[in-house]
Amino acid sequence: MKDNVNSIQDFAKHLTIILFILSLSACVAMGPQQQPEPVQAEPQEEVETIPTPPDSLTPSQRVRKALQQLEQGDYENARLQLAWALQEKPTLQIATNLLEQMDTDPIDYLGMKSFFYDVEPGDSLSIIAKKFLNDPLKFVILARYNKLENPSKLAPGQRIRVPGVMPERKKPKPKPKTPPPEPAPVVQEIPESTPDEETTVTPDLMTGEVQIDEPSLTMPEGQAPLESEEPSQPPVELAVEEQPAAMTAEEALSTAMGLHAEGNLSAAIYLLENEISQLPNAQELPKLLAGYYNEHADQLINRGDLDNARTILEKLIILDSSDDAAINKLILVEDKIEAQKLMRAAQDQQTAGNLEEAYQTYNQVLTYDPDNSAAQASQLSIRDKLTDSYHRRAMQLFRKQELDEAIAFWNKILALNPNHSLAPGYKARALEMKQQLQKIGPDE
């Protein structure tokens, strides 16, 4: 009996140990329970705030200041000036273009394909941008393309990358070969006959004719032969074109002013542009060229050739970035170009019968070009058509006593034409009828 009790006790101890080991294994397998991580709120996008400008410059003055800062590589302050300019005038295209050049990837903007260009005396990054990219203001993206910290520090002989394909180089003109000097003609004097050299008459015994024997003339030593006996000279190679000699600054000024006086302004500009690159230290040439640029831009604006006028004004601003009048004129030209685009869109909308859209687009045209008489006339015509249509619909609704809808149409008429002859009276009658109906109430 005692043995049975002991065996039961032993069994109970073993069972307790086994259960304890199993519980420990389960705890290890489960491991420590982790607390759920708190859900982090998504970061909100920070709205970039533009500080208040410390001065009261006009948008054109800010653009000029930004161009000067960009030429020095001061992108941070240039960005502020352009942002302030766009705050005051959101349609300022030149500021938008410059900001785009500062923010976009240069490779995506200009492409991977490029060639090397060695900077020549008189070159600037603006001149190179105009030469190869057809836009002098693209000096900003060209500087970033070459990782130039200060675009103004461009030295002759410096090698930069230019996007695109290298244009074919012109073959140098052959130099004219100077023909050898012709020998001076020698006048041969025939010496008078002496007694020993007298002409003798000898009879021909066979024929009976008389032969006259003339004395033979001997040439002095070292004397050239007569022209008839002149030795043949090698043929002279004629030059295809002769290279003109380089002009001095005074000659360039005189020639350009002469062309201008003859009415050939384009030729005068072309001459000055070429001579400035050859004479970078001649200060009178850029001043004269700036005046010619301004005159040519006015002529193009008067003819309505706004794209070429913009190109000339961009050249002028690069030549003299302190010219506020040129910047203001460029802004005006860009506004007119935008107005032309909107004018075409408005005319298409009007032709398609979308009168409400066309009216709003003509309104945008007049925002850019307030003196556009064609846009004014078209908008006035559309306004009359719209008000007539609105009034007919309002009258139909008024007769059905749908007063709120009728009043809404008369409000649209008055928004287009506050001096409409019928809308104010009918609107007042509709409001009065609406008040009377409200007093009567639905139950009465």
Count the domains in the chain: 3
Classify residue 351: in a domain, yes or no: yes
Inform me whether the pLDDT recorded for 78 exceeds 70. Answer: yes
Which one of 132, 163, 194 terminates a domain?
163
Classify residue 414: in a domain, yes or no: yes
**Max Cα separation, the chain?**
198
Mean of the per-residue pLDDT values of the chain: 78
Which one of 107, 133, 163 terminates a domain?
163
| Alpha carbon distance 339, 345 (integer Å) | 10
Classify residue 43: in a domain, yes or no: no
User: Phi/psi zone of residue 167: left (φ > 0), alpha (ψ -120 to 50 degrees), beta?
Assistant: beta
301 is in which domain, residue-wise?
249-322
For range 233-243, the mean pLDDT: 47
- Phi first, then psi, for residue 383 (nearest 5°) are -60, -45
Burial group, residue 147, by CB count within 10 angstroms (0-12, 13-18, 19+): exposed
CATH code at position 298: 1.25.40.10
Residues 142 and 80 in one domain: yes
What is the model's pLDDT at position 359? 95
Classify residue 191: in a domain, yes or no: no
Residue 78 amino acid letter: A
333-365: per-residue pLDDT in tens?
999 999 999 999 999 999 999 999 999 999 999
Number of H-type helices and E-type strands within the chain: 16, 4
Question: Which H/E stretch holds residue 160?
Answer: strand 159-163
What is the model's pLDDT at position 430? 92
Classify residue 254: in a domain, yes or no: yes
Inform me whether the pLDDT recorded for 318 exceeds 50. Answer: yes
| Alpha carbon distance 1, 7 (integer Å) | 10
Which one of 94, 128, 163 terminates a domain?
163
What is the model's pLDDT at position 169? 62
What is the model's pLDDT at position 155? 85
Residues 376 and 421 in one domain: yes
Q: How many CB atoms lie within 10 A of CB 356?
A: 13
pTM value is 0.49
What is the model's pLDDT at position 94? 86
CATH code at position 368: 1.25.40
Residues 304 and 359 in one domain: no
What is the model's pLDDT at position 196? 45
Residue 203 pLDDT grade (very low, low, confident, very high; cuts 50, 70, 90): very low
Percent of the chain with pLDDT over 90: 34
Inform me whether the pLDDT recorded for 46 exceeds 70. Answer: no
